Structure 1
Amino acid sequence: MSKHENIHEEIREQQKKLKDRTFREKLSYFWDYYKVHTIVTILVVIVGSIFIRDALNAKEQAFSAIMLNSYGHEYQEMFQNDFAEYADIDLNVYDCVIDTSSTLSYESMSQMDMAVSQKITAMSQTEGIDVMVSDNAPFANFSSGMMFVDLREELSTAEYEKYEPYFYYIDAALIGVEKELVYDEEGMPVIVDESIDHSDPSTMADPMPVGIYLTDSAKLKEWHCYEGFEESPIFGFVFSSGQKEKGHLFLEYLME
C-alpha cells in the first residue's frame, strides 16, 4: 500500500471512531488530537492580522527628530502636536515624531546605551532621522563620524547670518585621523575630549560648522527638555534627511 493510500485509510478509521459519538465527545476528540495545530493556526491569524492592520494604518513620515538626553518624554505628544501645527503637518495623514525619551551615556556604555547608539546610526543611514538635538558628548561623537551636514552648504544666506553666533564647529582636518585611545581613572576609554571648545573656530586648523547651540530656546523650556543642563544642547541636520524643509522649520521653531 502506498503512502497516499495509508493516509486515506487512517482518515477513514478516524471518521469511523467519531461516527456514533456525541458532539461534545467529537469536540473533545478534536481538541486532544489537534489542539497544537489549532493554537498555531490562531496565533498565525492573529499575528497576520496585526501586520495587515499596521500596514493599512501606516502613515508616511513627514518629520522625525531625536532629542537625545532631553528627558522630556512626559511632554513628547504635546511637543509633536505643537510643531506639527507650526509646520502645517496633517497628523491624520502623516507622522511627526519627536523622540524625547532616548538617552545615551558614554560613562558606563551599558547594553541599553549600545542599543541606542546603534539605533541612531542605523536610522541615520536610512533617512530615519531628519534632525538630532543632543548635549555635547553624543553630538561630538556623532559629528566626528560625519553624521551632520556642513552648515555652509545647508543654510541660506539669511539663516547663516542669523545662526552663525551659535555655531558648533568640528575640525575637519582631524576627520579620518586615527587617534590613540585614552583611558580614564576607572579604565574606561574616553570617547569624547571634553576639553575642546566647539564654539571657538580659532583653535581649529579647518573649522567646519555642523551644529547650532540652542541657547535660551523658549520651546525647549516650554516642553521641559534639557532642564538643569549647564550647557546649551546642539542642533544638527542629519546628512541623510529626506525632509530638509521640515528640518529648517524645526530649527526656526526652536530658535523663535
Structure 2
Amino acid sequence: MSHSHPTTTSATAAPNAADLPRRTTRTRPRGFSTEATFIGRSLRHAVRDVESMLMAVALPVMLMLMFTFVFGGALDPDGGYVDYVVPGIILTCAGFGAASTSLSVASDMTSGFVDRLRTMPVRASAVITGHVAASLARNLFATSVVLLVAVAIGFRPSAGVGEWLATIGLVALYILAITYLFAAIGLAAKSPESANGYGFILLFLPYVSSAFVPVETMPRWLEVFADNQPITPIIDALRALLIGTEMGASGYLAVGWCLLILAVAAVWAAVLFNAKAGRR
C-alpha cells in the first residue's frame, strides 16, 4: 500500500513595494535658477576682488588722463582731444574688465570645480553664463565711472536720449561679445596663467585703431589693418553717437562685428566646454 506524502510548496511571498528602497532621482532646477545662482557667485567674487575692479577702472582712467593732458595738446591744440579719445577709452575699459573672465573661467576648469558640478543636478555650463553676466554688470559699472571722470576733465557729449540709449546698447553688446571671447580663451587655455597671456593680446587692438589717432595718420600698411579690424567701426559709431561726428556705415559695421564675435565666441566656448566638462 503506497502512502502518499503531502507535497509541500515553499512559496516566497512577493515583496511589498513599500519595503523596497526607493531610488532617488535627481531633479534639475527649473527655469534659470541655476544661472542666477552662478551669476550671484561671480558677482560676489567680483565685489571681493577689489584689486581687479580698481585696475579695470584705474588703467583706462590713467590712459585717458595721459593722452588728454600729455599728448592732447600736440594732437589737438584747440583742446578738444578729450572728446575724441573718450569712445576709445570706453572700449579699452571694457577690454580690461572682460580680460579677467578668461582667468576666472580657466581657474574653475582647472581647479576641479566644474567636475564637482557634474555630480549635482545642475547645468555645469551655467557657470560660464554666470561669468559672462557678472562681467557685463561689472564692466557697465566701470564704464560709468570712466565716463564720470571724463566729464570731470572736460568731456562734453552732445548726445540726446536716443543716442545715449544706443550708446549703452552698443557698449553692452560689445562687452557681451568680448567677454564670451575671453571666456572661450579661458576654456582653451591649459592654465590660468596662459589664459591671462592669451587674452592680453586682444587688449592691444584699440591701440591700432581710430581710438587715439585717426587711421589716416598711420603708415599705409597699418592703416589698412586699422581700418578693417572690428574695433575701429565700433569706436567710430560711439564717437558719432556721443559727439555727433558722421556715422556713415560705422553703425551697421559695429553691430555686425559685435554679433559676429558673439556668435563665434559662444559656439567656440560651447564646443570647448562640452569637450572638457562633458555635455550636461
Length-normalised TM-score, structure 1:
0.22
- As a proportion of its length, which structure holds more strand? 1
